[in-house]
Chains A and B, each alone.
Chain A
Amino acid sequence: MSKKQSRSLSSARNQLRWEGLQRGIYRFRNNALSMVGLAILSLVLVVAIIAPFVVPYPEDATGATHVMERLQPPSKAHFFGTDKVGRDIFSRVLMGTGLALQVGTTIILMAATIGITLGSIAGYFGRRVDDLIMRITDIFLAVPALVLAIAVTAALGKGITNVMIGISLVWWPGFARLTRSLVISLKEEAFVEAANGIGATHFRILFRHILPNAVSPIIVKMSTDFGFAVLTAAALGFIGLGAQPPTPEWGAMINDGRAYFPSEWWVAVFPGLAIFLVVFSWNLLGDGIRDVLDPRSRR
């Protein structure tokens, strides 16, 4: 094949990709719910970035206490009221936004990395390797993620880093299974056989020919899992295994508020609403992403 031909071929392919992308964006923009999700999420992102500079009492997120002002109801001075040591809940909720997003992102990225690596090795090489990896996956999948995450995190020790490690360690099997099944079906495609025929290395076949075609379903899974990851991390924080005081972690803040619920309802209610807002907007968005990347899911 001459150079010129191959260039025109690749530009035709780019053209096709571009059109596909445009169609996707069109579908996405026509989905009012995902646009709402995107709007809320952008707002959340902005809040996460500017929170340290704009909240009224930034020091309340890092250990300052004002016992004289404890458990005050929402007011002009404290929009969301104050907690048991007089910290401004509004400031703490906003300061916690960045942490929540960071935790969710880290968990999904770590889990996806482990899962995609093991899953593609299992699917591509098959046989013994496949058997071994999938048996390990089965063991992890045999126990609900939350329960195993509690066990692992308890063993590693309390703390937000260990929460992220613990959850990632129980979250990867889903990605491994998905990637494996995608790789197995793509392995049979003609273009993979062609690459094999002209002597491409396994590495090249896997990364240049197979995985790029498996990206969409993996992204869909990452986006739908993100909300669950945030919820799971908050749950471990709520149980008391996660961030330790004074870190403004939403789950831990709800746990703090339990003792004062419902008479001093604001301590627990506002961090919960914050979690809801992030997870809800992300779920709306994820729904839209699924429609774009996997049109069969919605008719």
Chain B
Amino acid sequence: MNLKAGYFIRRVLLLIPLLVGLSILTFSISRVVPGDPVGLAAGPQATPEIKAALRKEFGLDQSLPVQYYKYVSGLFKGDWGQSLYSRRDVADDLRAFFPATLELTLAAVFIAAVLGTILGVFAALYQNRIPDHLSRIIVLFFVSFPQFWLAMIFQLIFGLMLDWFPISKRLDVLTPPPERITGMYTVDSLLRGDLETFGASVKHLFIPALVLSFGALASITRITRANMLEALDKDFVKMERAVGLPEKLVIGKYVLRTVFIATLTVISLEFGWLMAGAVLVETIFDWPGLGLYIVESSLRLDFQPIMGITIIYGIVFSTVNIVTDLLYGLLDPRIRYE
């Protein structure tokens, strides 16, 4: 156990140089490049004096190392800079938008894990027969669509034509969002015991999350299938079958467990992919998360938000990877860390 603790402490400590590197990277992206964000923010009529004043206000007139130092020390104090465009604090914006993206991504990962496991298990059980080929085609099919385009089509089918689901935002204009605990509407409304709002937010969440989940379906299905085939080939399965355990029990109780543990790593790696895919899905569904925020900021060359979002993505992504490792170790005690 001590060994494990040491391993994870080291992993967490390694996050520090990683984040320093990331802050240098985002800082260089935002400062060393051409383009004139101040000119863009000030508008076409701005006189050189106005621009100079703006530059001073945002500290852009100082030397780069000084700017970097100020930026990083600000990060630690919770001062993530201001948007050139809206003048709002980036940290406040991130706090407001992050839970929306997290909720969408978690829902999508959940859907992808369920669908992918089912498809992968069936593919393996019927190896090289029709269900196997079918599952292969289905996942390749859905992963090949541009997600923003598929999102529009789903909006059309499920929203306008069938009228089963609302097609944009997290809640109707008339429904007040639940009082904030985590910022995720589904979780908060449940915690507050407001089932009506919960139902409404799940309805709003479902189609965007479904579209987003397709991005991870192919790899989860593929890895489940491979792991399943490997597990089915193990001696313990042969033994269980030989002593006459019912197939349902062999698969359901013994094989699936090992398969799922092996699949878990892939699922959590997909978390990062899906969080990135959320950028596109959010634009279509008007989902007020980090994705919509970074798209708008990138079109306006508004660098403080872009830097902040990139760093948030980095922190979440790296944390997920560490947590995965930890879970993996808890679920499979044979794993040793060095």
| Chain A residues near B30 (CB-CB < 8 A) | 151, 155
With known contacts A235-B280, A280-B141, A144–B272 Cβ distance under 8 A = yes
Q: Is A57 an interface residue (CB 8 A)?
A: no
Residue in B280, B299, B307, B313 whose CB lies within 8 Å of A241: B299
Q: Is A154 an interface residue (CB 8 A)?
A: yes
Number of interface residues of B (CB under 8 A): 54
Which of B140, B295, B317 touches A150 (beta carbons < 8 Å)?
B295
Rounded to whole angstroms, the CA-CA distance of A145 and B273 in the bound complex is 8
Of A231, A241, A275, A276, which contacts B298 at CB under 8 A?
A: A241
Seen from chain A, the residues whose Cβ lies within 8 Å of a Cβ on chain B are 33, 135-136, 138-140, 142-148, 150-157, 227, 231, 234-235, 238-241, 251, 254, 258, 261-262, 265, 268-269, 272, 275-276, 279-280, 283-284, 287, 297, 299
Q: Does B127 contact A (CB under 8 A)?
A: yes
Interface SS, A side: helix
Query: Which residue in chain A gives the minimum CB-CB distance to B145?
Result: A276
A158 to chain B, nearest CB (A): 8
Write out the residue numbers on chain B whose beta carbons fall within 8 Å of the beta carbon of A148: 310
Given contacts A139-B21, A155-B35, A235-B146, contact A145 B299 (CB under 8 A): no
In the complex, what's the smallest C-beta–C-beta distance from A189 to chain B, in angstroms? 24
CA of A261 to CA of B141 in the docked complex: distance in angstroms?
Answer: 23
Is there an interface contact between A142 and B149, defined as CB atoms closer than 8 Å?
Answer: no
**Complex: how many Å from CA A33 to CA B144?**
14
In the complex, what residues of B have CB within 8 A of residue A238's CB? 146, 148, 280
B156 touches A261 (CB 8 A): yes
Nearest CB in chain B to that of A139: its residue: B21
The listed residue with most B CB atoms (<10 A of its CB), out of A154, A254, A284, A297, is A154
Q: Does B181 contact A (CB under 8 A)?
A: no
Q: Is the CB of B299 within 8 A of A240?
A: yes
User: Taking the complex as formed, is B104 at the interface, i.e. its CB lies under 8 A from any CB of chain A?
Assistant: no
Chain A residues within an 8 Å CB radius of B152: 254, 258, 261-262, 268, 272
Contacts of B29 in A (CB 8 A): 151-152, 155
